[in-house]
């Protein structure tokens, strides 16, 4: 690769913080963002807990009248993108607008709008359905709105690869810069799916934790007592740009993106391929793209959903690819703290991975007491640790067997 791509800004909107420093401090402290659902009455639901964004005020970022015409997932993406641009000390001026693009992933889009408008259709008739229903709901509108609010006029794309959506977005943004189609990209994911239909749907397929009496202890990746994931919401957005651009404007470089890999399981609509075969290929593709050897990876921010099959198969996949080095690796799942943000997960986790290599801090896997079957790696249990981290691999695997991985390295001139 002739070009080098670096992360110069990051923005996050999550229950653990809507400022990068606050969010990162809570991650290092092993704080859980999970609590009882308050957005609706979940008392009859199998799962009544979530990493719910309770104090978000769209009026801090968007005109309040305009915000009413934007689905929550779009609002979150705009806020995170504005924060990322601010963090990068970057303004998208007319001079750079054509060379600045946006790729934002979302697994579901404006599902709360869908629920509301379908109910209105059934109860009040077709004339009462909002004319903004479609442009609020469809999943590409987060990317479109980020461009509108930032002024970015380069490539504008929405990725929908289920829980791999944000990692796919960042990986494709990286490749967009490498091939010369843009100099800067605003990339990541956003999701707002803590709604009755989504929680009922995931709950009835037995995917969610039902540890309702202990919300903060419910997400327990790799632990033998894990019983499902905890749904989360929010957005994680990064600013990617060429190293040349970053140096020219004196940007603060958080980390360098060096690899991206993707694969398809071609196996099952929800279950991962046996022994993580698809995950192996995605991780290997990212390592090969980076021109690295497996033993050069120091840390893996695992997909680590806290579901029985994912955690076992992901651990197996790591051991298959890395061999003996798998037991020297630091592996952790930040979903133990953030919950699972579905299509936004990889955006938040890319930020965590970048901060980890920048500060040589391994984020913890909280709620880990004893490894489940096949889960015998070093998952950095319960407390953050210090370690020399040169390169981190961030994994995201989605329903439909869609897998995406990126590699971030400590920046060195």
Per the DSSP assignment, residues forming a β-bridge with 274 are: none
Q: Which residues contact 144 (CB under 8 A, 6 or more apart)?
A: 156, 158
Rounded CA separation 340/344 (Å): 8
Instruction: Name the one residue in this structure whose structure tokens are 């809570």.
Output: 26
Among residues 163, 268, 325, 405, the one annotated as catalytic is: 163
Of the residues 14, 122, 268, 303, only one is catalytic, namely: 303
Report d(CA 147, CA 163) in Å as an integer: 23
Q: Quote the DSSP letter at residue 253.
A: P
Torsion angle defined by CA atoms of residues 338, 12, 76 and 190, in that order, rounded to the nearest 10 degrees = -60
Active site (annotated) includes residue 163: yes
Two tokens at 237?
């957005």
Contacts of 295 (CB under 8 A, 6+ apart): 322, 325
Report how far apart, in Å, the C-alpha atoms of 328 and of each of 109, 280, 296, 318, 379 are. 39, 18, 11, 11, 11
Q: Which residues contact 71 (CB under 8 A, 6 or more apart)?
A: 109, 110, 112, 113, 136, 137, 141, 192
Catalytic residue among 14, 340, 375, 405, which? 340
Distance CA 262, CA 397 (A): 9
Query: For residue 19, what are the CA distances in angstroms to 82, 255, 363?
Result: 11, 18, 18
Nearest Cα residue to 98 out of 37, 151, 173, 30: 151
Per DSSP, the three-state class of 180 is coil
3-state secondary structure of 211: coil
CA angle 1, 265, 218 (to 5 degrees): 100
Residue 186: count of CB within 10 angstroms of its CB? 35
Query: CA distances (Å), 312 to each of 66, 82, 276, 280, in order?
Result: 45, 38, 8, 13
If we measure between CA atoms, which residue out of 185, 105, 190, 109 comes closest to residue 153?
185
DSSP 303: -
Catalytic residues: 163, 303, 340
């Amino acid at each position: 690769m002739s070009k080098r791509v670096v992360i110069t800004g990051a923005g996050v909107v999550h229950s653990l913080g809507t400022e990068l420093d606050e969010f990162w401090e809570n991650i290092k402290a092993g704080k859980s963002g999970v609590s009882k659902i308050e957005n609706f009455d979940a008392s009859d639901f199998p799962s009544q807990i979530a990493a719910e964004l309770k104090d978000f005020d769209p009026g801090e970022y968007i005109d309040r009248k305009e915000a009413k015409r934007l689905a929550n997932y779009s609002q979150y993406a705009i806020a995170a993108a504005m924060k990322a641009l601010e963090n990068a000390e970057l303004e998208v001026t007319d001079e750079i607008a054509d060379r600045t693009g946006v790729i934002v992933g979302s697994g579901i889009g404006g599902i709360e709008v869908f629920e509301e408008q379908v109910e209105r259709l059934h109860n009040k008739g077709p004339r009462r359905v909002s004319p903004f229903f479609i442009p609020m709901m469809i999943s590409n509108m987060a990317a479109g709105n980020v461009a509108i609010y930032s002024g970015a006029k380069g490539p504008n794309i929405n990725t929908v690869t289920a829980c791999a959506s944000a990692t796919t977005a960042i990986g494709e943004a990286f490749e967009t810069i490498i091939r010369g189609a843009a100099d800067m990209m605003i990339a990541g994911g956003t999701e707002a799916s803590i709604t009755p239909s989504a929680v009922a749907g995931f709950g009835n397929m037995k995917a969610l934790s039902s540890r309702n009496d202990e919300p903060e202890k419910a997400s327990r990746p790799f632990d033998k007592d894990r019983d499902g994931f905890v749904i989360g919401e929010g957005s994680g957005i990064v600013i990617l740009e060429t190293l040349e651009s970053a140096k020219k404007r004196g940007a603060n470089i958080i980390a360098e993106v060096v690899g991206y890999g993707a694969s398809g399981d071609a196996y099952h609509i929800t279950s991962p391929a046996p022994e993580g075969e698809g995950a192996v290929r995605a991780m290997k593709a990212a390592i090969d793209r980076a021109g690295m050897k497996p033993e050069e990876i120091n840390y893996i921010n695992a997909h680590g959903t806290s579901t029985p099959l994912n955690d076992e198969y992901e651990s197996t996949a790591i051991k298959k690819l890395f061999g003996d080095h798998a037991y020297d690796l630091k592996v952790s799942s930040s979903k133990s703290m953030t919950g699972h943000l579905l299509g936004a997960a990889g955006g938040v986790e890319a930020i965590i991975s970048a901060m980890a290599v920048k500060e040589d801090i391994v984020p913890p896997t909280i709620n880990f007491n004893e490894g489940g079957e096949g889960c015998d790696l070093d998952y950095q249990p319960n407390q953050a640790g210090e370690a020399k981290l040169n390169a981190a691999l961030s994994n995201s695997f989605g329903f439909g067997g869609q897998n995406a991985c990126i590699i971030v390295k400590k920046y060195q001139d």
